[in-house]
Amino acid sequence: MIEIDKVLNNISIETIEPPRILVQGLTNNSSKVKSGFIFFAFKGDNYDGNDFIEDAFKNGACLVISDSDQLESQKNIIKVDDVRAAAGIACSNFYNFPQNKVKLIGITGTNGKTSTSTILKSILDTNNEKTLQVGTSGIKPSIDIESALTTPDIFDLYEILNHAAKDGFKNVILEVSSHALSQRRIENIFFDITAFTNLTLDHLDYHKTMEEYFSEKLKLFDLNKENGSSVVMLDDQYGKKILELKSHTKCISFENKDTDYACTNYNINDLGITGTLEWDFKTLDFESKLIGVFNLENIVLAATIAVELNITKQSISEGIKNCINIDGRLHLVENKNNQIIFLDYGHTPDAYSKILKTLKDNYSHSLKVLFGAGGGRDKSKRPKMAKVVEKYSTECYLAPDNPRFEDIEAINDDIKNGFSKENYHSFNDRKEALEFALTNLKSDEILIIFGKGTEEYQEINGIKHFFSDRDIIKGFYEN
Beta-carbon contacts of residue 295 (< 8 Å; ≥ 6 apart)? 115, 273, 288, 326
* CATH value of 2-94 in 3.50.50.60, 2.60.40.420, 3.40.1390.10, 1.10.10.60: 3.40.1390.10
Domain 331-478 has CATH 3.30.565.10: no
Name the residue among 396, 395, 388 with its Cα closest to residue 356.
Answer: 388
Q: Can you name the CATH fold of 98-322?
A: UDP-N-acetylmuramoyl-L-alanine:D-glutamate ligase (3.40.1190)
Complete DSSP assignment for 331-344: EEPP-TT--EEEEE
| Angle, vertex CA 164, rays to CA 159 and CA 170, nearest 5 | 150
Domain 2-94 and domain 331-478, same fold? Reply is no
Global confidence as pTM:
0.89
**Cβ-count burial of 220 within 10 angstroms (0-12 exposed, 13-18 middle, 19+ buried)?**
buried
Give domain limits for the chain: 2-94, 98-322, 331-478
Check residue 329 and report its DSSP letter: B
User: What per-residue confidence (pLDDT) applies to 206?
Assistant: 52
- Those residues of the chain that have pLDDT short of 50 are 203, 207
User: What per-residue confidence (pLDDT) applies to 214?
Assistant: 86
DSSP H or E run through 103: strand 103-108
User: What per-residue confidence (pLDDT) applies to 207?
Assistant: 44
Count of beta carbons in the 10 Å neighbourhood of residue 456:
13
pLDDT, tens digit (0-9, with 9 covering 90-100), for 277-316:
999 999 999 999 999 999 999 999 999 999 999 999 999 9
Please report how many Cα atoms fall inside a 13 Å half-sphere around the Cα of residue 350, on the Cβ side: 13
